[in-house]
Structure 1
Amino acid sequence: MKGGDVSSISPLVSFVLGAAMATVCVLFFMSASPTRRLADISAFSSANATNDLRLASSDSHNGVADGNAEETAAAAEVTASPAPAPAEAPSPWGDLEEVLRRAATKDRTVVMTQINAAWTRPGSLLDLFFESFRTGEGGVARLLDHLVIVTMDPAAYQGCQAVHRHCYFLRTSSGVDYRSEKMFMSKDYLEMMWGRNRFQQTVLELGYNFLFTDVDVMWFRDPFRHISMAADIAISSDVYMGDPYSLRNFPNGGFLFVRSSAKTIDFYRAWQQGRWRFFGKHEQDVFNLIKHDMAAKLDLAIQFLDTTYISGFCQLSKDLNKICTLHANCCVGLGAKLHDLRGVLDVWRNYTAGTTEERRAGKFQWKLPGICIH
């Protein structure tokens, strides 16, 4: 070759050889340290991501960037935090479970009554109800510690809180004004009775046994002694035939003990359905109509309480040495109930003040006749 040709080729050859050697070195380095290569790639990616976040932050702050990596990481952690758990929906029954828990015995049993404003006025039924416990015998007053008073209106709730520990305000959506006296079998009266029945079912569903007592029941001795351990339901009698497990007895729902179980809850569901099957009937009448079928279907033990001990104006016990409770049943009107129950308490006070000999001799008897008592 000529000298001029060699000089023109040499630069090209040098370039090609140099590039080839550089490529060989890079490939040798990367194949010799794959872990380092991945780490370098990761670092590069992270660096670019951090730069992107810085740029975005800088743009959002009109070009002012703090360049603080710790703040960037903290911002990422905040973004990744899980959303707070949704708050539990409030119970439709408000503080009912708390009231029941405070009042219940160790076996989850409560005594319950239900009142409105008409029955909480001074000198009205609630005063007589409490007095009967205070003048009762055999420690019956201690049962007040387990009494839940269910109130139907704000005035009754306030009146309850002034005199008792365990008060519950049963809010209803029926549109009925529960403050005044409800005449027997009126539309508002039936609404109140069936609402009471549904509330009792709720107490069972919450796992509590209850002894429900109307506020016009006077308590002289502990009635639990006469409630059988075998009974799923124990109910007072308007007319007692002599056999506590005979379904021929006539029930009265104003004094009613129920154990919480699947059977009794199913019974209450059928009882509520009976409101519409026998439309216009009192809940006590519906109990009487379904007791045969439901007792057989559910294998339910229903005890009817002997009126010698758990008595009422319908079938009056005249033995003050045995009587535990006395209900102003078969008596219509608040005034009539108040009149006769005041007379009952007068006789009871004289009885408790009497000597053992006077008691045994039967010296003390109810004042008969009254407006309803006979």
Structure 2
Amino acid sequence: MACKVKGGDTSKLLPVISFLLGSTSTAAFVFLLAILDVNWRLSALASWNNGAQPALSDEMKAMAELTEVLRNASMDDKTVIMTSINRAYAAPGSLMDLFLESFRLGEDTEPLLKHVLIVAMDPGALERCLSVHRHCYLLRRPEGAIDYSDEKHFMTKDYLDMMWGRNLFQQTILQLGFNFLFTDIDIMWFRNPLRHIAITSDIAIANDYYNGDPESLRNRPNGGFLYVRAANRTVEFYRRWREARRWFPPGSNEQFILERTQAELSRAVGVRMQFLDTAHCGGFCQLSRDMGRVCTLHANCCTGLANKVHDLTNVLRDWRNYTAAPPEARRRGGFRWTKPGKCIR
């Protein structure tokens, strides 16, 4: 179940909405989405225009658009595969092209593209997305907000703002009643990773380093690959996750705080976490040795857009060589990834 407005009376939100619509903060808009009743969908929005209520604002229309985009992209169980891009990542030959190409090269992954929603951080990214993909959504920001169109370097202020904003947007998706599998744009998809997510898991997350136990809260998670099931407890998990920022030094990112609070948060709200084996959902930090098992490969433990593009291009080349080999040779194994020389030195 998704969270609901207390008492189901959306008219009580009007003073809050009026305040938020005057705000210049990106977070204010996302918070507006987060507090709305999940059942207050397009039909309810339309009823506001019958003369008794004010006309729909641009922000409310954007929420309706988001709900419709999610509905169009979702699987039968209301799960959406979601990633985000800016203009730098969307440029021809950059990470978005590599990401989409991996689905086309993977084993039975191309059909999953119809469930991939690409969230554009700027109009330039949206334009490029619409030229190559079916489901694209522009995350609108008020005039004067931070420009996310250029590369944001790891752990800079703009980077941290973007990561925490992404975290809040993910909570919004849950409150709209949709499960999501968030994947960074620098993750290559070669097989369907959903097969390795337990039906009993509320949250399933990849790891930079996996200790061998999928239930161990001592794993080192990476929020770049994250499945979350829509429920009141997962929404509360997200709320407390952000609230925990106050206990850590300024400039801490969401992944750092999750690693240090995941045991406490999951126990407090009753969330069952699953930590995914890097043999299936791995990356450059702990590179999978068996191409016959790998589902996704992340350019983690790596900074710099050019470095990621270079090394992931080699990853796709290695995968092409593997899939082009005769079945007998593939069964024997022995295929290895090219060392990510730009990322790992």
- Length-normalised TM-score, structure 2: 0.82
**Segments of 4+ in structure 1 off by > 3 A?**
87-90
Instruction: Give the 3 Å change call, closer, same or farther, for CA 178–84 of structure 1 in structure 2.
Output: closer
Which of the residues 61, 67, 76 maps onto 1:106? Answer: 76
Using the TM superposition, give the Cα deviation of residue 94 of structure 1 relative to its aligned residue in structure 2, in angstroms.
5.2
Which of the residues 309, 314, 335 maps onto 2:280? Answer: 309
Q: Kindly indicate whether structure 1 or structure 2 has the higher relative contact order, using CA contacts under 8 Å at least 6 residues apart.
A: 2
- Written as runs of structure 1 = structure 2, the 5 A alignment for 1:127-142 is 127-137=97-107, 139-142=108-111
Using the TM superposition, give the Cα deviation of residue 310 of structure 1 relative to its aligned residue in structure 2, in angstroms.
0.4
- Written as runs of structure 1 = structure 2, the 5 A alignment for 1:264-303 is 264-278=234-248, 279-303=250-274
Distance 2:337 2:51 in 1: 67
- Written as runs of structure 1 = structure 2, the 5 A alignment for 1:50-129 is 84-87=51-54, 89-90=56-57, 91=60, 93=63, 95-129=65-99
Amino acid at match of 1:338: V
Distance 1:294 1:367 in 2: 38
Distance 1:262 1:231 in 2: 14
Distance 1:337 1:369 in 2: 9
Amino acid at match of 1:280: G
Percent identity of equivalent pairs: 55
Aligned match of 1:240? 210
Rg larger for: 1
Using the TM superposition, give the Cα deviation of residue 88 of structure 1 relative to its aligned residue in structure 2, in angstroms.
5.3
The number of aligned residues is 291
Distance 1:369 1:193 in 2: 25
Distance 2:140 2:155 in 1: 22
Contact 2:284 2:340 in 1 (8 A): no
SS in structure 2 of the partner of residue 295 of structure 1: helix
Amino acid at match of 1:353: A
Q: Are 1:318 and 2:289 counterparts?
A: yes
Aligned match of 2:21? none
Aligned match of 1:365? 336
Distance 2:328 2:229 in 1: 39
Q: Deviations over 1:304-360 (max 9, x none)?
A: 000000011011101000000000000010011011100010010011111111112
- Length-normalised TM-score, structure 1: 0.75
Aligned match of 1:350? 321
Which of the residues 111, 121, 129 maps onto 1:152? Answer: 121
Q: Point out where structure 2 has 5 or more consecutive residues left out of the alignment.
A: 1-49
CA RMSD, Structure 1 to Structure 2 (Å): 1.5
- Written as runs of structure 1 = structure 2, the 5 A alignment for 1:330-345 is 330-345=301-316
Q: Point out where structure 1 has 5 or more consecutive residues left out of the alignment.
A: 1-82
Indicate the structure with greater helix content. 1
Instruction: Give the 3 Å change call, closer, same or farther, for CA 235–164 of structure 1 in structure 2.
Output: same
Q: Are 1:329 and 2:286 counterparts?
A: no
Which of the residues 151, 155, 173 maps onto 1:203? Answer: 173
Distance 2:171 2:316 in 1: 33
Using the TM superposition, give the Cα deviation of residue 246 of structure 1 relative to its aligned residue in structure 2, in angstroms.
0.3
Which of the residues 185, 188, 197 maps onto 1:218? Answer: 188
SS in structure 2 of the partner of residue 93 of structure 1: helix
SS in structure 2 of the partner of residue 177 of structure 1: coil
Amino acid at match of 2:131: A
Using the TM superposition, give the Cα deviation of residue 271 of structure 1 relative to its aligned residue in structure 2, in angstroms.
1.2
